[in-house]
A and B are shown apart, each in its own frame.
Chain A
Amino acid sequence: GESVGLHLPTLSVQEGDNSIINCAYSNSASDYFIWYKQESGKGPQFIIDIRSNMDKRQGQRVTVLLNKTVKHLSLQIAATQPGDSAVYFCAENNSGGSNYKLTFGKGTLLTVNP
């Protein structure tokens, strides 16, 4: 079936650098996307979302980009800090279908080196 996947399972960056985490999705019916952060021993935490009628959305130090043509989603973290070290998941939703259901990617482990 259709699913969400990630290009890079691990990413290591230096403190202060910008991080880019990528995600590919294959369900063309998905129209809502979320990035979650999961720290060790904790549950996923909402970071930022984007609807399919947008191609970019910015939050505090984070930006999500959506390219519907190639079904690609990315999370950019500016000035990465040690506290950003975590696993990052993208998730997709079809709000016109099972609107409660999120399909999660496998996750990317981000390690920030001091």
Chain B
Amino acid sequence: DAGVIQSPRHEVTEMGQEVTLRCKPISGHNSLFWYRQTMMRGLELLIYFNNNVPIDDSGMPEDRFSAKMPNASFSTLKIQPSEPRDSAVYFCASSLRQGVAGNTIYFGEGSWLTVV
């Protein structure tokens, strides 16, 4: 079975450019997460969707970040304009239903973003 699919796997972009990260969750999963991982801050939840609706975006750093989930099989995380401090690995994850307990969250392989 295909897991969570993310693209691009790696991106290097110049400061000020728009970055769009894409995610295809596991088919049938109703919950989708975007996480950011850095050495300094570890894994941080950016935004959580349930049934395509954003439930919690309190982790989104600032207005430069936006996320959408137009349908159950696709989500995007956009950074505009990008800054060097946005360099990180961005993970998309999905789970069958809301609630972590007893409900495995599956992570994608990540999108490695470098902003120069």
Q: Hey, which bits of chain A sit against chain B, CB under 8 A?
A: 31-32, 34, 41-46, 49, 51, 89, 93, 95, 98-102, 104-107
Q: How far in angstroms is the closest Cβ of chain B from A5?
A: 10
Q: Please name the residue on chain A nearest to B39 by beta carbon.
A: A106
**Given A100-B31, A100-B55, A102-B105, do A43 and B93 touch, yes or no (CB 8 Å)?**
yes
Q: How far is the CB of B24 from chain A (nearest CB, A)?
A: 14
Secondary structure dominating the interface of A = loop
Contact B42 A34 (CB under 8 A): no
Among B45, B91, B99, contact of A95 (Cβ-Cβ < 8 Å): B99
Task: Say whether B104 contacts A107, CB under 8 Å.
Answer: no
Contact of A99 among B43, B101, B104, B106 (CB under 8 A): B101
Contact B43 A104, beta carbon cutoff 8 Å: yes
> How distant is the Cα of A92 from the Cα of B108 in the complex, in angstroms?
20
Chain B hits for A44, CB < 8 A: 43, 91, 107
A105 to chain B: which residues have CB within 8 Å?
42
Closest to B4 in A: A43
Residues of B within 8 A of A34 (CB): 100
Are the CB atoms of B100 and A102 closer together than 8 Å? Answer: yes
